[in-house]
Chain A
Amino acid sequence: MNPSPHASELAEGYAPRNYLNSPATGLASWLDTRDHKRIGVMFLVATTIALMLGGIFALIIRVELLTPGPTVVDAMTYNRLFTLHGVVMIFLFMIPAIPSGFGNFLLPLMLGAKDVAFPRLNLLSFYLYLAGAAVALYGMVHGGADTGWTFYTPYSTTTVTKVVPILLGAFILGFSSILTGLNFIVTTHTMRAPGLTWGRLPLFVWSIYATSVIQILATPVLGMTLLLVAVERAFGWGIFDPARGGDPVLFQHFFWFYSHPAVYIMVLPAMAVISEVVCAFSRKNIFGYKAVAYSSLGIAFVGFFTWGHHLFTSGQSPLTGGVFGILSMFVGIFTAIKVFNWTATLYRGSISFRTPFAYFVGFLFFLVFGGMTGIALATMSLDVHWHDTYFVVAHFHFIMVGATMMAFLAALHYWLPKISGRMYPEGWGLVAAVMVVLGFNFTFIPQFLLGNEGMPRRYYAYPERFWPLNVASTAGASVLAIGLFIVLVYVLVALKWGPIAGPNPWRSRGFEWDTPSPPPPENYETTPVYTHGPHEYDEHAPGVPAGVPPSPEPRHV
């Protein structure tokens, strides 16, 4: 992506010298870059491809479920499909997408820094991502795995499919994620520009910081666990093998000790994006900055003690279950705080209903229902009925697709001008947003009802009575897919031919907008000095410092 602007456009505020064309433009200059912005962009491209791949798996799944019996694939293929769908979407798309993609691009900009603390490490983490993806893809091509993304033993240690490559792939991806997290924590601590106190830190940074903490504390445990399963498969040392006195449930504890915090790795960055978007488009200071900032840390902390809510039916003692149950309720509070504060931020704001804001609305809706169903699941006696039914599937899609993917799209539209210097077509943007939100509801609301009705997940074939709702769900999925496809098309078009956006099309107070678009390689020619927070829009707030005056709203195609 290297659009060459015409002289006329340069006049309108397309930075002539930017990270896209300097120091060099060749592919090589990208592949060994240390520039956090280029690395971020490469992550965005890679994760978007992963999203498409996982989406294609998803669509095949939906088509298969169109009829109660066999439809397009056989049972074995189906089992591999949902496993790969889960693995690709979680490890290749969702976990890196926002932190490693947008986070990399924005964190130093928001801190007024020239780069992240360890640029080489940053590049390494990208190549680890590619390596992990390659290994996992090798596994998928050569037979794939049919364990589900949860790799429960003893099935995962006995099945004939290619589990080990997938495990190793996830293992390597884990290290990529650890390095990024480590890098971000150090950057936040040591690279803040003068005047940027913790009290003035953009909420995006707060949330990404919390994410990074989880990444470095939880991921090593996952790595070890996956390694144990691989060892078990390869040599049969019997760690999880009941026939050798191993305890299969121990694996579940290990796995969820990572994977529950991991769900917050997936949602905290979304919250990071939303906190920025809601301020920018209601042109209003965030309501309860401290509350929103600290609740991120709260989630990161309490999130480590709720993993047992995935094991309510595994025969753990009711007391243990109870503790995990109540803690799951507590972790919900922090999200509630955020939701209420975002809503309250709108009060007496000046709201412009642009595409990113449309996605914010969708996000709010999906997060509330996705989250509340999470709490409902933590209400133990209900989980006994819902566990491993489509209700759970609907729950996590509401949060992961509903909340996080909406946030991803919001971020894509909000920061596209900063990343590419060009604007997306507003009209198409809103059309696509409406399709995505409606299509999503049609896809997953029926799945809640399927869960109530008792349809278990990971079912290749199902009794007749589940038929109508499944048809509805598949129909919704196709609308959703078309909507996303439209996004893909116009984003690609905008990258080359979109109208020049100017340094700050949204007139946002966010620090990242103080530099030209696309930003120069060194971000700021002079290190900025901050005298105010990034979320202040009232008349008393000092104007945008050390940077460019607000440019007029862009024209549209």
Chain B
Amino acid sequence: MSDATTPTAASFLAHHFESLEKQTHAARLGMWLFLATEVLLFTALFAGYAVYRYLYAQDFAAASRGLATWIGLVNTIVLVSSSFTVALGLHHATRGDGKGTRTFFLLSFLMGLVFLGFKYVEYSHHFHAGELPGRYYAGELLGPGAPMFYALYFLITGLHGVHVVVGMTVLAVIGWRAGRGAYARAYHVPVELAGLYWHLVDLIWIFVFPLIYLI
């Protein structure tokens, strides 16, 4: 159905659903459940972070102070605004305007790149300062806390980074197909789900930022 110029609603209906509403409902529900599992994936890491934060309060506080808060802040702003542009993209999809969707998804994609850029700056700084996890730690902080902090720091931000990359890929593909007019006002669920996923990536960062940078 990729090249269909203006597809009719019927052409989207899979054989085993008897109505498009049901199919849409199923798709949405499925996506939400999937997002739930994603959240739980991170929850495990957050729990670990909480435990060690409790065990090594001082060390963690000290290590956390060592992070460049402004980068974290900038990245937060970037992601939040990218979420906003994604929302706009979806808005255009509901109007059946695939081109508009494409432009705004492209914008979000670029902001994703900016985010990763800042991450790169941050990481490379850590590498030079020898602020690495576990036995690789060569920073100046004493005690077992700091290496542990950086282990969790890299795990959490790293896993989130992977999600950003995946999210960008999804936005790229869906945005491109939307531009090719693959969706219609009657049916634009993929656009919507892609948006949902990006919002999740954003949301998780909203948790990560205060947890690691601020407290």
Contacts and interface: CB of A to CB of B under 8 A. Distances in A.
A30 B25 CA distance: 29
Interface in A114-129: 114-115, 117-119, 121
B41 A239 contact: no
Given A245-B145, A250-B51, A190 B40 contact: no
A225 B37 CA distance: 14
B23 to A, nearest CB: 8
B36 A250 contact: no
B61 to A, nearest CB: 15
Contacts of A238: 133-135, 144, 147-148, 151
Nearest to A241: B134
Interface residues of B, number: 38
B73 to A, nearest CB: 27
A220 B41 contact: yes
A32 to B, nearest CB: 16
Interface string A450-470: 000000000000000000000
Given A115-B16, A190-B26, A244-B135, A216 B55 contact: no
Nearest to B151: A237
Contacts of B16: 113-115, 119, 191
B1 interface: no
B113 interface: no
Interface stretch (A2-10, A65-73, A228-236): A228-236
Interface centre among B55, B134, B145 (most CB of A within 10 A): B134
B25 A190 contact: yes
A223 B41 contact: yes
B120 to A, nearest CB: 20
B86 to A, nearest CB: 23
| Interface of A: prevailing SS | helix
B43 interface: yes
B56 interface: yes
A285 B29 CA distance: 33
A116 to B, nearest CB: 8
Given A216-B36, A250-B51, A237 B44 contact: no
Contacts of A186: 26, 29-30, 33
A224 B36 CA distance: 14
A182 interface: yes
Interface in B1-59: 15-18, 22, 25-26, 29-30, 33-34, 36-38, 40-41, 43-45, 47-48, 51-52, 55-56
Interface string A200-244: 000000000000000011011101110010010001111101001
A236 B135 contact: yes
Contacts of B44: 220-221, 224-225, 254
B155 interface: yes
A108 B29 CA distance: 18
A220 to B, nearest CB: 4
A17 B22 CA distance: 29
6 contacts: A119-B16, A231-B155, A235-B134, A237-B147, A238-B147, A239-B152
Interface of A: 113-115, 117-119, 121, 178, 182-183, 185-187, 189-191, 216-217, 219-221, 223-225, 228, 231, 235-239, 241, 244-247, 250, 254, 527
Given A186-B26, A221-B40, A239-B152, 10 more contacts: A117-B30, A189-B29, A190-B26, A217-B36, A224-B45, A228-B48, A244-B144, A247-B52, A247-B55, A254-B44
